[in-house]
Chain A
């Protein structure tokens, strides 16, 4: 399959996932928290196509609502990390000197820490909750964007159009916003695609450990954790949230790879 088809496939899957997450309250056949203890651990029924969990809650409805949490955490984490990375990387690359040294040493120190471990440690002390998860994931998440932006700006600032803008007396802020940023967008978009996939998996990991979203709100990671104790009698409890995470990450990887290949081909 060629690059265009991979991109279309990935983007198509993402569109379906985003629409189903956005309109989950309208699409979902049941309320995700509605319990029916007489219908617990059903594998399949006409009323519950993906079955029910230990409290008789509809898995399909919970998977659809869980997608909202995963995408919300992913998009929030990427947006916040991107904003911080953009500011730090621009300052570091554009001004150079001691500002660059100071900021990049800070990045080096943070990168020396395994990101997900720091996120686990912070959510462990701060307590579960969506806002805590996003903050914890951003703690190290911004560093990759900062490094990327700095590197790109170092290369761009010597180009003729930037030198011309300087010679015309443009202020640093204007040069960064109007001349450098538009050129930074393609690599940042690719990084953000992979960052979104990583954030979704990280949120899943935190929820799996009971450090993500608080119960009974459904999230793919917490659904997997709940289903773990019923592996023998009800494997469907782990199958569907796991598939949802895998398909989302797969689609993001497809889009990221295809965009990366396009950018490499263009630069060649």
Chain B
């Protein structure tokens, strides 16, 4: 009876299937993060506090981190604390890791969102221009942009943009977080790689969809060109964009470590780098965990988004 009910509701069935698949993935990611602190060569407490720390301090930290417990107990405690939202305490900031990350999260989300918007705006304009003018100079220009965009690492692009627009022209602030002018360069630095990949993929998709029968039919029955593009061509080319965006989201989050460091943007990326530099490992663990979980969550949501964009996608 229940099986019949499940089968009659493929969306529910699919959701349960995806959620079940999410569990081992989540557990795998959590285990990797747990293992991190145990990979520190030698005594992790000595590495964190330095050789000059007193044995009482070391003992105290060992107890606080639970490193005096057997490994399995540590793992169980790690998962139990995590379920209660407890990511531990920072070694230097005298605050809960969850609190520190919570305070920095909005800045990273703002930057990632703006980078995505910049990437979408650039790639859609270039890909449409290229597809409409196939083989001519706008097409070649878009392909060249894509090739160079893919080859420019963000740890060089950031300083380049800074030299040109902040130092030479004085159009944007050099670093920090404030108004929209503060966002422009970091968002471009973070989003350019994604824009390059999206331009290439979207152009190829558009060229393919443009020759499909249903687009020819839409034109033949006299639909205005704007409608042919918006309702038929672009919508059908969107699937590949969603896939790439979801895959690139991880790169975007990881890229935020470098971009935020270059532009002194007060987000999780910069926090992670600072935590690495000060050897605040509980904070490093917390940051890595939050970034990885966001990535897993975005991939999960992307799977669900496919159906919205393309009703032909089967949940069976």
Contact = CB atoms under 8 A, between A and B. Distances in A.
Contact of B147 (A114, A235, A254): A254
A8 to B, nearest CB: 16
Classify the secondary structure of A's interface with B. Answer: helix
Interface stretch (A19-27, A32-40, A116-124, A172-180): A116-124
A203 to B, nearest CB: 10
Interface in A186-210: 197, 201, 204-205, 208-210
A110 B284 contact: no
B254 A116 contact: yes
B113 interface: no
A224 B162 CA distance: 14
User: What band does the interface of chain B fall in when counting residues whose beta carbon is under 8 Å from A?
Assistant: 35 or more
Interface in A111-137: 112-118, 120-122, 124-127
Interface residues of A, number: 45
B197 to A, nearest CB: 11
Interface in A36-63: none
Interface centre among A110, A120, A126, A249 (most CB of B within 10 A): A120
Interface of A: 105, 108-110, 112-118, 120-122, 124-127, 197, 201, 204-205, 208-211, 221, 224-225, 227-228, 231-232, 235, 238, 241-242, 245-247, 249-250, 253-254, 257
Interface of B: 21, 24-25, 28-29, 32-33, 36-37, 39-41, 147-148, 150-153, 155-156, 159-160, 162-163, 167, 250-251, 253-255, 257-258, 261-262, 272-273, 276-277, 281, 284, 288, 291-292, 295-296, 299
25 contacts: A109-B25, A112-B25, A112-B295, A113-B250, A116-B255, A117-B254, A117-B257, A117-B288, A121-B284, A126-B39, A126-B40, A127-B41, A205-B155, A208-B155, A210-B277, A224-B156, A224-B159, A238-B156, A245-B153, A245-B156, A246-B151, A247-B151, A249-B153, A250-B151, A253-B151
